[in-house]
Amino acid sequence: MIPNILSIAGSDPSGGAGVQADIKAISANGGYAMAVLTGLTAQNTQGVRAVDLVSPEMVTAQIAAIRADIRIDAVKIGMLGSAAIISAVVAALDGLTAPIVLDPVMVAKGGDRLLASEAVAALRDHLLPRATVITPNLPEAADLLTLHEAQDRDGMAAQARLLLDLGPGAVLLKGGHLAEADAPDLLVTSEGARWFEGRRFATKNTHGTGCTLSSTLATLLGRGLPLPEAVPTAKAYVAGAIAAADRLQVGHGHGPTHHFHALWR
């Protein structure tokens, strides 16, 4: 069975992040991609120029239309933008039993804020407890916890446990911001913690890696893989997409990863 995977996120017209990246990653990993737009951005590989959020009513209507007609096997949630949209998404997903992967998108790679600071509490209090797994990077984890960013593995482990206490089923804390030669990620569940090692690649083309990882993880969960197996599989796919990123020639800033690296020869 090909799983139906729903992405709820913002648009990136340059194609490297947001629903565009989600659709590519879901498709490359064997899922049928659907997308509910929460906002439009004017951005390219060099940064975000403008953001225009979709009304909460329209977000609700999009999700309702899909739920009325199409089986949803997993959900990936990315950029939401405001507390009102967060509330709309929580209500619209009520009763859905499919896995939910929440990527708490707050700031774009270039530093532009994509979630209003006053909306962080709504994300933390109302959406995190609905998530099967959340996939924050270190700045996002610190933002959610109102703490300083973790600087080492011990700090990562402590903050991952604090995030788990907020109610999600699991936390996959990404360690790419650590000042280490490698890029380790930490999965924490009620059963314990497990480190997943990852190498760094000499490329500036890493735009949308968080979107790509979370949507891939949702697809694998929708295919029925257990979380401890889905995480390393998703990491391996993203690593391959980063390793092949320089085969693309897109823009002059942080270019996209190569989502179809395993399919295009």
Write down the catalytic residue from 24, 76, 174, 235.
174
- The candidate with the shortest Cα–Cα distance to 104, out of 169, 41, 171, is 171
Any idea which residue has 């980063």 for tokens? 242
206 in active site:
yes
- Residue 255 among the catalytic residues: no
Residue 211: Cβ within 10 Å count: 30
**Distance from the Cα of residue 127 to its chain's centroid:** 14
Active site annotation includes 209: yes
Q: Nearest CA to 106 among 71, 134, 81?
A: 81
Instruction: Confirm if 28 and 259 have CB atoms less than 8 A apart.
Output: yes
Whether residue 224 lies in the annotated active site: no
CB 41 within 8 A of CB 71: no
Q: From the candidates 135, 206, 212, 216, give the one annotated as an active-site residue.
A: 206
Q: Which of the 8 DSSP states describes residue 23?
A: H
97 counts as catalytic: no
Query: Which position among 175, 208, 222, 255 bears the catalytic label?
Result: 208
Indicate if 175 belongs to the active site: no
Encoded amino acid at 259, one letter = H
| Catalytic residue (choose from 209, 216, 219, 257) | 209
Q: Is 52 exposed, middle or buried (0-12, 13-18, 19+ CB in 10 A)?
A: exposed
**Cβ neighbours around 45 below 10 Å, total:** 22
Q: Which of 15, 16, 210, 255 is catalytic?
A: 210
Catalytic residues: 174, 206, 208-211
